[in-house]
Chains A and B, each alone.
Chain A
């Protein structure tokens, strides 16, 4: 085999990253679930024969980072190396060997070139339904959460397992969409495989050994250099959150050593009775993501660049829940992990990490149905509508937080006009929430107000997936807390942050989604920035005067400028 030049190896690394991006694009293009095609809740990657991940597409889901990196090794073990054949396609939705809940389906395809097995393509997507109780927090065990697909062959040497498809169809609410998505997952691996074969032929290669070693060696070295540049040390962090019925606490110890960073979750709350538990793969993914953002953001994800981050947790804690704990909403705890890790990391690397933000995506699912038989006869219908929405992100050491922007998740919201076409729902309001960003030298990002109702003739249940109701995002270095989540009906009746709840006919759900926390004391904020926040309506006149000491004369001047359509002049 020819020895490749460094320039060729550099080109091939770029090519592999481009191949997995194409793989992800093909999935978006052919998928059915809105979570995949609108919001980008998916991932895709290429692996060597040993199952080590060489490249992963950058998509909206950090939660798949480490989980995907580990998944293929499970497939090799369960299928057995001797049973891997050209034309095979493997599948699972095992929360512990895939990406953390039954709603994520992972498909792995071995890649053969000139008769030899050269590697794997894998991809994951969040599907609209897997049966059981439906997507929500209410299950008491994973058995209630839906259909479990163990690691198995979806296709054996090119032949699709028809009984498997019948079984899936018979157990879920949206069989066409989900089976369509499974085929889309298989198609996207095929697209990756075809491009890979093209690359191997172009460079006259038999396999991925040489390029794989080059990628892993350079990534390992770059990651180790990034870690070596840090001061060694150890610090602890913690975070309290709402939980389902009782609060949960996350505890973490972060150790920066010469050649690795260790994160241990000992002391965190035990497993919760409801579906907010997190399998270890998902906790690892978000701990790792938090560290990578802070320490080595430029280094692509692969087995070697992830290896120096060692994440551990005692079994049967909420971040290492074992089968059969319910895990459908594992994202709520998972999305709080970066803020927990940053609580510790801030003590080790001051001036690097942001204040706490809204954290978990503020999602809900509405199950809409006719209000009466008369309404049904008049055309009212059933529909399931899922929405992803975001609070504010935490203020940064030199920048305000971002308004209504997801962190750590990176998925997109759905346009409200598209949501209203998906089912008889009306979004009456989706707008920034003033005064929700924590005060500070740098202000937290704003959360949002939403008002959700059904079209006349319909009623609905809302499956709430909110946190930060009783535990607002905490400010850093004297910055103020972000505003907490509020949920109630428009008649003032209280509602719970999590769980399925009925909304009476004609009523609307009023949501106030949380703001990010502030960074540094409010007294340090540039006065011009405060006046600008006031003019933009990010803060109220009351807050401007109470938190920042803005005078009545200054407030009056801002109001005069506003009537002329002007902002206060800077400086």
Chain B
């Protein structure tokens, strides 16, 4: 796609908290490598990974035509407060917006609650006398001399980066631009971010916080990206480099250096794109992607092969992943819920004799008790081991022997002894609680989006997901589960499937009764030109798709619903009709007699999505049997059952393995519950279908015939 020659390879590189994943697709084949992340110089792990995949593929870096990169570096800098020396300039009277937050407590019953500190302390927040009103008119003009005086103070304090956030600047950016111009005249090397460019949306706390976050990580990300580009060139990979952004598209290196806050959570966004690509192969319109690693689980809704997006999310939650305990960032993002539930999540018993799991994690050091590295508290992985879901001898392809006695000891001491349960029941309790936590998060996320999960298909990836996905499907009433190949490096593969895209947004309130066609045309044209010029800076030729959405609600409501108006010309009746149809779909009925308003206008420009090769329909299915068996606990029965053990390679296309069974591969194990069957599809995905009491092969054949 997009201008590169067909023979050239595409390289995806994802820097995560523990591993840097690199994937090379070339000549119809895929090669991957996992390298430990090198915190002091993150580009080193990418270079190392690139060498490895090139060597596996038998090519030199010169064969790479395009590199797409995603990273948690910006996120980590925000979480760990390792950003630049940064100042905020804001409107007089509003110095403390980022500190006062929503003036509420995110945990109601903790008398010793500690609020997260703002990114910038009060002494680094400066004000100017100026004011724009809610109608966009200037109430107090900004005097250039005031800005010049302030520029002197900024220079004296030797800031590397400045964020400018003024009240109602999303309506009129003139004052913010003047501040930038004066600062740059005085200090040409200064990094300046203005809120009307970084996040032109109403709500001062979110907008100011977003521009501060951008300014805070900008110098560091700029240096890193420049160094990465130079090192890749030195290695011979002299090709364009692009960045995955939080919204699920890719942007240019220069764009990323200017708006690095858009890189936050780009890794998980890649995972969602990966799941969307799998969804496209199977023509699935309603998918729940489930990514479970060592510390957290991420859940995302994918409708019509497009991940659900949102305009605001929270980074760096400081209190048990609790909503409200982090910093709001308002940029276009793939909307997912992240909870503290992973293989390393620790279990304990609380004062109500309830088993609690997470969000504290054993991490990689000391790790779960079974790693034998000094961990004494039981983690989810220990419980999985005791229940037979993981084979102590076959973990990580047999490269790491697990100590089941240590798991038994930890689970017994922390849970079983306290609740008078045997070890197996205690382990069952741990796994049920973590599965229920994830199921609850998925349910709440679905309801927040007006979705009902029955009828959805789950796509599971990440090291721990295949162990838990089957049970999660049972809890959510989901009948069909896909576990794609290469699930361990899913995000990096996802990067290679992402289009070039950019979403331009504006907060402009308009009631339908005041709808002015000319104003709307101008606004949409302006947004379209902003979005397309951004994408054109990445790819000058590829055909572009433009999608226009307006966020609408009844006047007086607080929640908007996005309405796709791409195919209609701006007109009151057309907009109203689309809104009412969507509203009725979500909430059963429309509200009579109320005016409707538009709050946010969004235009997304994007190159075409990579076209996924469709998975072939299944032919005749023949049962696969095995003599290898082990005891695996069945949570639905509440008792152990004898399960067949298969290697993933054994499961050729067209063979079907009846549950209960486990399918073992190097990176993970897929647990297939009783009453379900697994088969391999033409693209390598393992598909698991629930069919209740019907005989397995017939039921599977019937249900899979539609795919």
| Extra 15 A-B pairs, beta carbons < 8 Å, given A58-B108, A296-B351 | A30-B587, A187-B588, A225-B351, A226-B351, A297-B110, A402-B113, A403-B96, A404-B96, A415-B202, A415-B203, A416-B204, A429-B93, A455-B133, A536-B121, A565-B124
Task: List A residues at the B interface (Cβ < 8 Å).
Answer: 5-8, 10-11, 13-15, 18, 21-22, 25-26, 28-34, 37-38, 40, 58, 60, 62, 176-177, 180, 183, 187, 191, 195, 198, 202, 218-219, 221-222, 225-226, 292-294, 296-299, 352-354, 388-390, 396, 398-399, 402-407, 410-413, 415-418, 420-421, 426, 428-432, 448, 451, 455, 535-538, 562-567
Query: Are A432's CB and B436's CB within 8 A?
Result: no
Query: Are B103's CB and A412's CB within 8 A?
Result: yes
A-B pairs, 3 with minimum CB distance? A565-B157, A37-B558, A429-B93
What is the minimal beta-carbon distance from B419 to any residue of chain A, in angstroms? 7
Return chain A residues, CB-CB under 8 Å to B167: 416-417
Query: Are A293's CB and B111's CB within 8 A?
Result: yes
Name the contact of B111 in the complex, choosing from A198, A389, A396, A406 (C-beta under 8 A). A396
Which one, B301-309, B425-433, B695-703, is touching chain A? B425-433
A176→B475 CA distance, assembly (Å):
39
- Is the C-beta of B223 less than 8 angstroms from some C-beta in chain A? no
Query: Are A415's CB and B158's CB within 8 A?
Result: no
Return chain B residues, CB-CB under 8 Å to A353: 111
- Is the C-beta of B556 less than 8 angstroms from some C-beta in chain A? yes
With CB as the reference atom, state the residue of chain B lying closest to A413.
B103
A565→B159 CA distance, assembly (Å):
8
Name the contact of B123 in the complex, choosing from A226, A388, A536 (C-beta under 8 A). A536
What is the minimal beta-carbon distance from B552 to any residue of chain A, in angstroms? 14
A22→B449 CA distance, assembly (Å):
11
Return chain A residues, CB-CB under 8 Å to B558: 28, 31, 34, 37-38
Name the contact of B122 in the complex, choosing from A13, A418, A451, A536 (C-beta under 8 A). A536
Query: Are B104's CB and A396's CB within 8 A?
Result: no
- Is the C-beta of B622 less than 8 angstroms from some C-beta in chain A? no
What is the minimal beta-carbon distance from A385 to any residue of chain B, in angstroms? 12
User: Can you sample 8 A-B contacts with CB below 8 Å?
Assistant: A11-B432, A11-B436, A22-B444, A180-B594, A222-B351, A297-B111, A298-B109, A566-B123
Knowing A62-B108, A218-B354, A415-B204, say if A428 contacts B593 (CB, 8 Å).
Answer: no
What is the minimal beta-carbon distance from A550 to any residue of chain B, in angstroms? 17
Query: Are B158's CB and A565's CB within 8 A?
Result: yes
- Is the C-beta of B448 less than 8 angstroms from some C-beta in chain A? yes
Query: Are B638's CB and A5's CB within 8 A?
Result: yes
- Is the C-beta of B398 less than 8 angstroms from some C-beta in chain A? no
Return chain B residues, CB-CB under 8 Å to A407: 105
Query: Are A412's CB and B93's CB within 8 A?
Result: no
What is the minimal beta-carbon distance from B277 to any residue of chain A, in angstroms? 30
Q: Which of B585-622 contact A (CB under 8 A)?
A: 587-588, 591, 593-594
Return chain B residues, CB-CB under 8 Å to A10: 354-355, 429, 432-433
Q: Which of B70-87 contact A (CB under 8 A)?
A: 85, 87
A429→B129 CA distance, assembly (Å):
12
Query: Are A421's CB and B96's CB within 8 A?
Result: no
Knowing A6-B421, A226-B351, A402-B115, say if A564 contacts B436 (CB, 8 Å).
Answer: no
Interface size class of B (residues with CB under 8 A): 35 or more
What is the minimal beta-carbon distance from A495 to any residue of chain B, in angstroms? 20
Return chain A residues, CB-CB under 8 Å to B556: 32-33, 176-177, 180
Return chain A residues, CB-CB under 8 Å to B114: 399
Task: List B residues at the A interface (Cβ < 8 Å).
Answer: 85, 87, 92-97, 99-100, 102-105, 108-115, 121-124, 131, 133-134, 139, 153, 156-159, 167-168, 202-205, 350-355, 419, 421, 425, 428-429, 432-433, 436-437, 440, 443-444, 447-448, 450, 475, 477, 509, 554, 556-559, 587-588, 591, 593-594, 638
Query: Are A413's CB and B102's CB within 8 A?
Result: yes
Query: Are B444's CB and A219's CB within 8 A?
Result: no
A18→B441 CA distance, assembly (Å):
8
Return chain B residues, CB-CB under 8 Å to A221: 352-353
What is the minimal beta-carbon distance from A563 to any residue of chain B, in angstroms? 6
A335→B122 CA distance, assembly (Å):
30
Knowing A7-B429, A21-B444, A353-B111, say if A406 contacts B354 (CB, 8 Å).
Answer: no
Query: Are A562's CB and B123's CB within 8 A?
Result: yes
Query: Are A7's CB and B425's CB within 8 A?
Result: yes
With CB as the reference atom, state the residue of chain B lying closest to A424.
B134
Return chain B residues, CB-CB under 8 Å to A403: 96, 99-100
Query: Are B134's CB and A420's CB within 8 A?
Result: yes
With CB as the reference atom, state the residue of chain B lying closest to A294.
B111
Query: Are A404's CB and B111's CB within 8 A?
Result: no
A411→B103 CA distance, assembly (Å):
8
Return chain A residues, CB-CB under 8 Å to B352: 218-219, 221-222, 298-299
What is the minimal beta-carbon distance from B509 to any residue of chain A, in angstroms? 6
A563→B111 CA distance, assembly (Å):
36
Return chain A residues, CB-CB under 8 Å to B432: 7, 10-11
With CB as the reference atom, state the residue of chain B lying closest to A391.
B103
Query: Are B433's CB and A11's CB within 8 A?
Result: yes
Knowing A10-B355, A31-B557, A32-B556, say if A421 contacts B102 (CB, 8 Å).
Answer: no
Return chain B residues, CB-CB under 8 Å to A38: 558
Query: Are B421's CB and A293's CB within 8 A?
Result: no
A221→B104 CA distance, assembly (Å):
31
A403→B95 CA distance, assembly (Å):
14
Return chain A residues, CB-CB under 8 Å to B115: 402, 405
Name the contact of B95 in the complex, choosing from A21, A431, A455, A562 (C-beta under 8 A). A431
Highest count of chain B CB atoms <10 Å: which of A176, A177, A187: A176
Query: Are A195's CB and B443's CB within 8 A?
Result: yes
Name the contact of A7 in the complex, choosing from B108, B123, B638 (C-beta under 8 A). B638
Query: Are B436's CB and A405's CB within 8 A?
Result: no
Query: Are A18's CB and B108's CB within 8 A?
Result: no
A222→B114 CA distance, assembly (Å):
26
Return chain B residues, CB-CB under 8 Å to A565: 85, 87, 123-124, 157-159
With CB as the reference atom, state the residue of chain B lying closest to A408.
B108
Query: Are B94's CB and A418's CB within 8 A?
Result: no
Query: Are A28's CB and B559's CB within 8 A?
Result: yes
With CB as the reference atom, state the residue of chain B lying closest to A432.
B96
